[in-house]
């Protein structure tokens, strides 16, 4: 069985163990020469003969994802079914596993689970029909190897949240004790509270957490003042109050030397820098071999790789007497930036681009360097505008004027104007101006003789609709209001009535809104004489 990565490195460093390369037997793949030695079409790390475990931190906590089982839980409070774990507190945590009990029906963990088929659920107080803020549930374990005094460790864990009412923001705390015999604590008292209420326990660190129907990863970095043989994990020591269940989930609890988390490939500078390189932590007792896309870079056996050979996925295989480990790939990609710009100039003008004076329309490219010395490709779309000639057809009402440039035109006719465009180029415009074909009667006689019995508005094809027509008497009273009337229809106009009764002869004022065939609505007002 492979020993934990940190212990493996520490042992190799302390004992100066000799290193044994892999794949040195006849007809086997040699894993560091860039050659397909066994003729199977697979080279070096791409060949299963060169398989190594991935170098990831190995937790000092046994069974860190609760996958190993001594039994399958069939109810709550059965943490004893998870191999290596102990109920740290009298207030019991819950062991959830897909083989059996999967949690309270209303308190199921978010899916998918972070790692495997098991998690632990815990409360921070009991509330509702009873209020027990001291009911704090802790999960405990005796460590595979004690935390050493003065050594920095990282505790990385997944925590699952339900709704903000069930899983409000809180603090998760890591506690330690010098002796495994201190597990459990608070025996017989479910309201005992946090571990530091018992002798021999210390708060190692805590972190604020929050989420909503999700799993999140948090870290606590600790440097113990004494050797710690066992730990307990759960809520902090602050008592809270709530109106209902407070519940969270734990999974994938990694407690390891901080250096194990740092053991990964990193860049020495940004990827476009001429001094760019890759590096890993250096240990004299370990043998290093660099690979690109799984194929060995022959001779690259130092912790630092200067100027990688182009883009690709780089890895390092680290060999000791006991085994080999391969670090996660580092994807080396040289960033390329693209930008696009558009420009318009007038005829006989020039546009300076890529050390050239451009005078013709087209697509042009230039390659620049960013502040980080990466390539930046710029595309220019240039349009050269000559003298433009346009024809404009417009209509106005009598008494209105049409503005074009600095000129205003109030009578029908054909006009030519020289204008300057928004970018300063010359533009010749021919204006064809006409009056709208609209007739507003100035009198009508509603005497039911079949002639001129109503007041409405008449027009040609350019009059689409009478959106509104309002008629007022001499005192300002509204005597008629028509909406969405068809033009040229006497039956749709005003017949000289108000509330069904004829109004007196005289002068009446009207306002109207007319929709024209250009899609525009125009207001108009006037007066009409009623004579019977």
- Mean per-residue pLDDT, 511-515: 94
Burial of 400 from C-beta contacts in 10 A (0-12 / 13-18 / 19+):
middle
Query: Could you give the CA distance from residue 514 to residue 506 in angstroms, rounded to a whole number?
Result: 25
Is the pLDDT reported for residue 288 higher than 50?
Answer: yes
The predicted pLDDT at position 25 comes to 43
Residue 19 pLDDT grade (very low, low, confident, very high; cuts 50, 70, 90): very low
Q: Answer whether the bond into residue 251 is a cis peptide, omega within 30°.
A: no
Among 202-206, 343-347, 434-438, name the one with the lowest average pLDDT: 343-347
Task: Note the residue count of the chain.
Answer: 532
Residue 429 confidence (pLDDT) above 80? no
Taking alpha carbons only, the member of 389, 431, 385, 439 closest to residue 412 is: 431
Pairing of the two strands 118-126 and 247-257: antiparallel
Residue 22 has pLDDT above 80, yes or no: no
Note the pTM of the prediction, 2 decimals: 0.50
pLDDT at residue number 152: 94
Query: pLDDT for 262-275, tens place per residue?
Result: 778 888 888 888 88
Please determine, for residue 68, whether its predicted confidence score (pLDDT) is greater than 60: yes
pLDDT band per the 50, 70, 90 thresholds, residue 430: confident
Residues 6+ apart with CB under 8 A from 246: 123, 124, 125, 127, 166, 167, 168, 170, 240
Helix and strand element counts for the chain (H, E): 2, 39
**Averaged over 179-208, what is the pLDDT?**
96
Percent of the chain at pLDDT exceeding 90: 53
Peptide bond before 112: cis, by omega within 30 degrees of 0? Answer: yes
The region that residue 442 occupies, defined by phi over 0 for left and psi between -120 and 50 for alpha, beta otherwise, is alpha
Weakest-pLDDT range from 221-230, 364-373, 398-407, 491-500 = 364-373
Residue 417 pLDDT exceeds 80: no
Which pLDDT score, from 0 to 100, does residue 321 have? Answer: 66
| Residue 26 pLDDT class (50, 70, 90 cuts) | very low
Cα separation, 336 vs 471, in Å, equals 70
CA dist., res. 374 & res. 462, Å (int): 61
Residue with tokens 């007041």: 455
Residue 190 confidence class, pLDDT cut points 50, 70, 90 = very high
For 143-165, write each residue's pLDDT tens digit: 999 999 999 999 999 999 999 99
pLDDT tens-digit profile of 211-258? 999 999 999 999 999 999 999 999 999 999 888 889 999 999 999 988
DSSP letter at 219 equals E
Angle at 91 between CA 87 and CA 96, to 5 degrees: 60
pLDDT at 21 > cutoff 80? no
pLDDT above 90 (res 375): no
CA angle 117, 247, 214 (to 5 degrees): 55
Identify whether the C-beta of residue 119 lies closer than 8 Å to the C-beta of residue 250: yes
Which residues are CB-neighbours of 470 under 8 A, at least 6 positions away? 478, 480, 481, 482, 510, 511, 512
- The confidence score (pLDDT) of residue 437 equals 87
Work out the widest C-alpha separation in the chain, in whole angstroms.
Answer: 125
In terms of pLDDT, which residue wins out, 460 or 140? 140
How does strand 375-385 pair with strand 337-346? Answer: parallel
- What the block records as the tokens of 265 is 């490939």
Given a cut of 80, whether residue 335 has pLDDT beyond it is no
Mean pLDDT value across the chain: 87
Band the pLDDT of 388: cuts 50, 70, 90: low
Average pLDDT for residues 99-117, to the nearest whole number? 91
Q: In the numeric block, which tokens belong to residue 21?
A: 């390369």
pLDDT given for residue 352 in this prediction = 87
Q: How far is CA 446 from CA 359, 489, 495, 502, 506, in A?
A: 72, 15, 6, 9, 12
pLDDT (average), residues 360-381: 79
Check whether 412 has a pLDDT greater than 90. no
Question: φ and ψ at 70, to 5 degrees?
Answer: -95, -20
18 falls in which pLDDT band (50, 70, 90)?
very low
């Amino acid at each position: 069985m492979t020993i934990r990565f940190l212990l493996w490195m520490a042992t190799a460093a302390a004992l100066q163990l000799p290193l044994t390369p892999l794949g040195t037997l006849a007809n086997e793949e040699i894993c560091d020469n860039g050659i397909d030695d066994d003729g199977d079409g697979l080279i070096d790390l791409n060949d299963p003969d060169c398989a190594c475990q991935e170098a990831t931190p190995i937790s000092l906590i046994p069974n860190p994802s609760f996958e190993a089982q001594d039994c399958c839980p069939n109810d709550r409070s059965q943490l004893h079914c998870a191999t290596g774990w102990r109920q740290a507190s009298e207030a019991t945590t819950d062991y959830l596993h897909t083989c059996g009990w999967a949690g309270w029906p209303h308190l199921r963990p978010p899916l998918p689970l972070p790692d495997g088929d098991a998690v632990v659920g815990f409360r921070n107080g009991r509330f509702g029909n009873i209020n027990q803020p001291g009911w704090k549930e802790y999960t405990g374990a005796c460590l595979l190897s004690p935390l050493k005094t003065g050594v920095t460790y990282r505790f990385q864990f997944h925590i699952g949240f339900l709704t903000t009412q069930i899983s409000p923001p809180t603090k998760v705390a890591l506690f330690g004790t010098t002796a495994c015999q201190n597990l459990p604590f608070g025996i017989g008292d479910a309201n005992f509270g946090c571990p530091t209420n018992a002798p021999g326990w210390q708060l190692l660190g805590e972190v604020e957490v929050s989420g909503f129907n999700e799993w999140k990863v948090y870290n606590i970095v600790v440097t113990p003042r004494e050797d710690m043989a066992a730990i307990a994990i759960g809520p902090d020591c602050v008592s809270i109050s709530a109106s209902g269940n407070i519940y969270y989930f734990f999974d994938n609890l990694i407690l390891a030397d901080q250096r194990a988390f740092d053991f990964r490939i990193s860049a020495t500078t940004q990827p476009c820098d001429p001094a760019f390189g890759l590096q890993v932590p250096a240990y004299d007792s370990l043998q290093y071999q660099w690979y690109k896309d799984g194929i060995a870079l022959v001779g690259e056996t130092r912790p630092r790789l200067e100027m990688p050979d182009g883009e690709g996925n780089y890895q390092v295989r680290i060999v000791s007497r006991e085994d080999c480990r391969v670090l996660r790939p580092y994807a080396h990609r040289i960033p390329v930036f693209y930008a696009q710009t558009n420009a318009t100039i007038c005829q006989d003008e020039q546009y300076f681009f890529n050390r050239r004076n451009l005078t013709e329309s087209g697509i042009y490219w230039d390659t620049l360097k960013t502040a980080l010395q990466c390539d930046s490709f710029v595309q220019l779309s240039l349009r050269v505008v000559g003298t433009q000639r346009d024809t404009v057809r417009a209509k106005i009402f009598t008494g209105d004027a049409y503005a074009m440039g600095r000129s205003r035109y109030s009578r029908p006719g054909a006009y030519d104007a020289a204008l300057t465009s928004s970018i300063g180029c010359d533009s010749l415009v021919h204006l064809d101006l006409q009056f709208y074909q609209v007739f507003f009667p100035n009198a009508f006689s509603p005497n039911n003789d079949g002639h001129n019995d109503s007041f409405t508005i008449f027009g040609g094809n350019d009059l689409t609709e009478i959106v509104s027509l309002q008629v007022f008497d001499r005192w300002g009273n509204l005597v008629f209001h028509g909406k969405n009337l068809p033009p040229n229809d006497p039956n749709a106009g005003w017949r000289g009535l108000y509330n069904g009764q004829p109004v007196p002869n005289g002068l009446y004022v009207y306002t109207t809104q007319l929709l024209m065939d250009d899609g525009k609505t125009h207001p108009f007002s006037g007066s009409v004489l009623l004579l019977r």
